[in-house]
Structure 1
Amino acid sequence: MTAPGTGSTRQPPRRGAAYWICFAVVLLSASVSVWYSVTAVIAGGLEDADALYAASRSVAIVVVALIVPLFPADAALLAIAVVMVIVQGIDTFVGAVQGNTLVMVGAAVLCIVNIVTASFLARTDRVRGAA
């Protein structure tokens, strides 16, 4: 905080461990999605439109996740965390339907970890406006 009348701009508050842990989990989760979708594009070639659409969305999520720390509000990270919970939740369902235990369990674990870390971030005093 600056002294009154100094003309300095106010610095954003420092981000705590809850923020950076949530950020790391979101980035990991989004990166796993990109890896799977790019692998599908490589396996199916440019003729596999579904894989191309999945890759485009996965890359977009990673790009947004990477720029989130540039914004002063933690709500941006929470929004991306919610997106990843939805994506990983659907991936869990798809893995179960296809009988792919590895995909199902991996996506379920990432989904749960995203929920836990986002919950811790949402409960911090700074996000709730108490700081």
Structure 2
Amino acid sequence: MNFRIKATAALAISMSFATSIVAATPALASEADCLPYHGTICLTDGADFGGRVWRQTVSQINGCRRMSADNFDNKASTALNNTFGDGVLFMYNTNNCTGDYIALASREATKFRGDDAWLNNRVSSIKFVQV
């Protein structure tokens, strides 16, 4: 009986320790951190929707949104315009929504590769336009 109590206690402690390690680890993003949130713009700082997440509803993006205000300037490596309808997300490499940009239509994503690679870790401002 004494052995069973000690074994159970040891198991409980090890499970608690393992849970605390998992809980203490910073959360890594995945597509699941973006796709279920309809009506949002989602950016992540890691490739393939990994790393830290920046997500806002369209109503939170009034006019030109500077990413430096959210400590996400020059960090985005993936982007998802997770809106429905005719909204277009513009992402700029300057902080005042001017200069070079790419545009993502509703339900469109980019991982800043290929033709979009020039903007990887260079998004400084965004604007959402309902057309």
Q: TM-score, normalised by structure 2?
A: 0.23
Name the structure, 1 or 2, with higher relative contact order (CA <8 Å, separation 6+): 1
More helix by share: 1
Q: Which one has the largest radius of gyration?
A: 2
